[in-house]
Amino acid sequence: MSTRALFQPFLLGGLTLANRIVLAPMTRSRAGIERLPNALMAEYYAQRSTAGLLITEATTISEQANGWNESPGIYTDAMVEGWKRVTSAVHAKGGVIFVQLWHMGRASHSSFHQGALAVAPSAIKINGDFIHTPNGKEPYEVPRALETHEIPLIVADYKRAAERAREAGFDGVEIHGANGYLIDTFLQSKTNQRTDAYGGSVVNRYRFLKEVVEAVSSVWPANRIGVRLSPNGVFNDMGSADFREQFTYTAGELDRHGLAYLHVMDGLAFGFHGLGEPMTLDAFRKVFHGPLVANCGYTQETAEKAVAEGRADLVAFGRPFISNPDLVDRFRNGWPLAPDAPMSAWYSPTGADGYTDFPARGAE
């Protein structure tokens, strides 16, 4: 493949992507307290629709899944109607968009749930300073360990969210299994100390994700479903000594499903737990034979190299897309990138400020 590898089209689940550049899922907190996708969000995604694939910000599958101020959901009719506005705006620009399905698990707080504790595989608290809640900064809490009989109910929530995603006009879904949220905490021995069928071995710790994939696959063809993993990540107090064994097994099992892609946060820009050598794309290529999406800290140059050498099929960019809605054109033409947006703009519910007000080149 040429040095213009990022600009080659790619066939994904019967969809022809215009290039190998992916808009990474990034929580931006513009859905309001009702968690409804809106016209501003439609504008934001349409501005970035030249990416080969857009993956939405993490989107909660139920009330129980919530835990981030003003992030969107996909569990009510009104939410579906809001997302229709987004998907229509993206499709009108020729874009392809998947929704990322999210359950925050222990990274939530009772303030989001009328005093009920967040749920997790085991009652193990995040070791961190505080969480942002509707009441301001509050300390992390010890979550409630899910009863075995409750787990299929959450699997059913994923299925219903997948159904609503189809109704909303998405082209596919991504299951968020990364960054210390519910699925990731089931996968990892640090946070899963269960003794039932969902814990105690790499096989059992994978069971919850397996059941979620199977449930979502009853709604969507497998080649329209992606899964995101973060084997090297430390976010939300993650990192397990047996991470390599767990994620090698998990990727190999996911390979059996014929998924649209496996989205791996292989880069270390988001933090590294340091429990051995980091897992690379090469390690995943050995056990997962479908498309691989690379993520975390890539530049145009390192992304070109990863795709040209066959280590990745697609590369997701997060932070550069915030202040460069026309990132694809800037990469293609060798134009300089706009300065990174300040962190204060990333998650602030400030309307267009720091969200849709970054101009494309030529409109600056």
Which residues are catalytically annotated? 181
Sign of the torsion formed by the C-alpha atoms of 53, 54, 59 and 61: negative
Strand partners, 306: none
Distance, in Å, from the CA atom of 105 to the CA atom of 116, rounded to the nearest integer, reads 12
Give φ, ψ of 333 to 5 degrees.
Answer: -100, 0
3-state secondary structure the chain: CCCCHHHCCEEECCEEECCCEEECCCCCCCCCCCCCCCHHHHHHHHHCCCCCEEEEEEEECCCCCCCCCCCCECCCHHHHHHHHHHHHHHHHCCCCEEEEEECCHHHCCHHHCCCCCCEECCCCCCCCCCEEECCEEECCCCCEECCHHHHHHHHHHHHHHHHHHHHCCCCEEEEECCCCCHHHHHHCCCCCCCCCCCCCCHHHHHHHHHHHHHHHHCCCCHHHEEEEECCCCCCCCCCCCCHHHHHHHHHHHHHHHCCCEEEECCCCCCCCCCCCCCCCHHHHHCCCCCCEEEECCCCHHHHHHHHHCCCCCEEEECHHHHHCCCHHHHHHHCCCCCCCCCHHHHCCCCCCCCCCCCCCCCCC
State how far Cα 326 lies from the chain centre. Answer: 21
Separation CA 314–CA 312 (nearest Å): 6
Residue listed under structure tokens 């390192």: 302
- Contact status, residue 344 vs residue 354, Cβ threshold 8 Å: yes
